[in-house]
């Protein structure tokens, strides 16, 4: 559709660059047919350099969603060896984007993208598509013959199609609904003094001369499915917190015994999802018989960063706590008011 990133970037950016440097499609085809020349080669080299630069910028914008824009800005100011993982990802993404938009193009829609196959399941005869009016256009032939239809078989619709299909053969999986064939056919119809719309937006029913239904069971089913999806997305977004906290057991022995004391070692993993550093408190929830030692009761976590806080829990061997093996419970939350702290728990281990 018109909101597809492939279509938006290809038609809105890369093809505009191509037309700006090399001219329209007909001009490019004429120059290619004439053979290579210094001007033609220079234009192609300049075009591909522009493609690489744009792909490089898009790759960095994409990476900023994962490492944050300020962090990415600091990384690009340093040497690639200082942040080789991010540099490698930027290089790989640039190569993928350049290969896709500079060469693969609509083949992505035909070979990789599942959207066309999904739409073939969701479509029916009343769905809006781009189609050819066979009733009006057939039989094809010269415009001077009054026995022929409106289609003069100029093949302009095939020439301008980015996937190379003939829309006159009916609805096809390869159609990306770019409407280039609609514009090309309308231009020919206007020149011939005939009504535009031989190739147009319509339903299969409308192209066959039948009445088109708008309200139908399929539409209600899709509306319900869309409403359910919107509800789930709204709930997930509203329940999202600006931090995460988990209580993890340290590696090694699950517990240690020192005299009459049993010790369990944990660490609190705090993740700050905000774009600014924040201070968090790590405080134990009192339980009779348990003694907590928190290495850092208050910890500052950088923007979009994480921090680990060691925690030790001790209890007397042979006490009721050791017999029942209760859970260690801690409360973690930002010091700023307005956000509910998160409670994390982990069962204690000890000798039987």
Domain range for 39 is 5-105
Q: Are residues 95 and 133 in the same domain?
A: no
Whether the Cβ atoms of residue 94 and residue 102 lie closer than 8 Å to each other: no
pLDDT average, residue stretch 31-45: 93
**How confident is the model over 141-169, as pLDDT tens digits?**
999 898 999 999 999 999 889 888 999 99
Give the residue among 298, 287, 293, 294 at the shortest CA–CA distance from 326.
Answer: 287
Question: Which ranges of the chain does DSSP label H, i.e. alpha helix?
Answer: 5-9, 15-22, 25-34, 38-67, 69-77, 84-99, 107, 115-122, 134-137, 156-160, 180-192, 204-207, 217-238, 320-324
Q: How far is CA 77 from the centre of its chain?
A: 27
- Assess contact for 185 and 156: CB atoms under 8 A: yes
Q: Are 131 and 207 in contact (CB under 8 A)?
A: yes
Residue 131 lies in a domain: yes
Same domain, 146 and 202: yes
Q: What is the value of pTM for the model shown?
A: 0.69
Strand partners, 248: 267
Mean pLDDT of 309-333: 80
* CA dihedral for 102, 103, 104, 106, sign (positive or negative): positive
Q: Please, how many CA atoms are within 13 Å of residue 302, restricted to the half-sphere of its CB?
A: 6
Q: 288-292: which pairs have CB atoms within 8 A and are 24 or more residues apart?
A: 288/321, 289/315, 289/316, 289/319, 289/320, 289/321, 289/326, 290/314, 290/315, 290/321, 290/326, 290/328, 290/348, 291/315, 292/328, 292/330
Stronger pLDDT, 114 or 188, i.e. the higher one: 188
- What is the rounded distance in angstroms from the CA atom of residue 112 to the CA atom of residue 284? 52
Q: How far apart are CA 209 and CA 131, in angstroms?
A: 13
Q: Which of 5-9, 50-54, 181-185 has the lowest mean pLDDT?
A: 5-9
pLDDT tens per residue across span 230-264: 999 999 888 888 899 999 999 888 899 988 889 99
Q: What is the pLDDT of residue 327?
A: 86
Q: Give the residue ranges of DSSP H helices in 202-284.
A: 204-207, 217-238
- What does the pLDDT read at residue 1? 64
- Say yes or no: 248 and 343 in one domain: yes
The per-residue pLDDT for 324 is 60
Q: Are residues 143 and 192 in the same domain?
A: yes
In a domain, 114, yes or no: no
Q: Is the pLDDT of residue 135 over 80?
A: yes
Q: What is the mean pLDDT of residues 67-75?
A: 86
Number of domains, the chain: 3
Greater confidence (325 vs 306) lies with 306
The H-or-E segment that residue 248 falls in is strand 243-249
In a domain, 127, yes or no: yes
Give the pLDDT mean for 326-342. 89
120 CB burial (10 A radius; 0-12, 13-18, 19+): exposed
- Give rounded-to-5 percent helix, strand, coil for the chain: 45, 20, 35
Give the mean model confidence (pLDDT) for residues 201-227: 91
CA distance 101 to 123: 28
Supply the pLDDT for residue 199.
96
Is residue 251, in this structure, part of any structural domain at all?
A: yes
Least confident segment among 70-74, 292-296, 297-301, 310-314: 70-74
Residue 322 has pLDDT above 60, yes or no: no
| Secondary structure of residue 351 in the 3-state scheme | coil
Say if 235 falls within a structural domain.
no
Residue 256 lies in a domain: yes
Tens digits of per-residue pLDDT, 271-296?
999 888 999 999 999 988 899 999 99
Please check whether residue 213 lies inside any domain of the structure.
no
225 assigned to some structural domain: no
- Write down which residue in 105, 132, 149 finishes a domain: 105
Where does the pLDDT of residue 319 fall: very low under 50, low under 70, confident under 90, or very high at 90 and above?
low
Decide which of 150, 180, 207 is a domain's last residue.
207
- What's the chain's average pLDDT? 90
């Amino acid at each position: 559709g018109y909101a597809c990133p492939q279509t938006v970037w290809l038609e809105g950016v890369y093809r505009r660059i191509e037309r700006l440097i090399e001219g329209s499609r007909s001009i490019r085809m004429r120059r290619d047919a004439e053979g290579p020349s210094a001007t033609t080669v220079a234009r192609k080299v300049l075009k591909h350099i522009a493609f690489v630069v744009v792909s490089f910028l898009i790759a960095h914008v994409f990476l900023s969603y994962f490492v944050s824009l300020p962090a990415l800005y600091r990384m690009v100011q340093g040497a690639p060896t200082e942040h080789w993982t991010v540099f490698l990802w930027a290089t790989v993404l640039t190569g993928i984007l350049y290969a896709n938009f500079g060469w693969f193009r609509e083949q992505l829609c035909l070979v990789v993208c599942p959207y066309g196959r999904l739409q073939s399941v969701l479509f029916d005869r009343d769905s809006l598509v781009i189609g050819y009016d066979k009733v009006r256009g057939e039989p094809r032939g010269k415009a001077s013959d009054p026995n022929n239809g409106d289609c003069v078989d100029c093949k302009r619709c095939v020439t301008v199609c980015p996937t190379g299909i003939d829309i006159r053969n009916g609805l096809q999986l390869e159609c990306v609904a770019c409407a280039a064939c609609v514009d090309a056919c309308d231009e020919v119809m206007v020149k011939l003094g005939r009504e535009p719309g031989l190739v147009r937006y319509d339903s299969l029913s409308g192209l066959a001369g039948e009445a088109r239904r708008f309200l139908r069971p399929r539409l209600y089913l899709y509306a319900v499915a869309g409403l359910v999806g919107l509800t789930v997305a709204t709930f997930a977004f509203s329940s999202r917190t600006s931090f995460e906290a988990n209580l993890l057991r340290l590696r090694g022995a699950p517990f240690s015994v020192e005299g009459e004391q049993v010790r369990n070692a944990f660490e609190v993993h705090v993740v700050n999802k905000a774009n600014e550093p924040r201070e968090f408190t790590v405080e134990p929830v009192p339980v009779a018989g348990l003694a907590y030692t928190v290495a850092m009761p208050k910890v500052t976590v950088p923007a979009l960063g994480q921090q680990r806080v060691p925690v030790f829990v001790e209890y007397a061997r042979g006490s009721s706590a050791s017999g029942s093996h209760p859970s260690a419970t801690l409360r973690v939350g930002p010091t700023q008011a307005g956000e509910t702290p998160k409670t994390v728990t982990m069962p204690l281990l000890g000798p039987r």
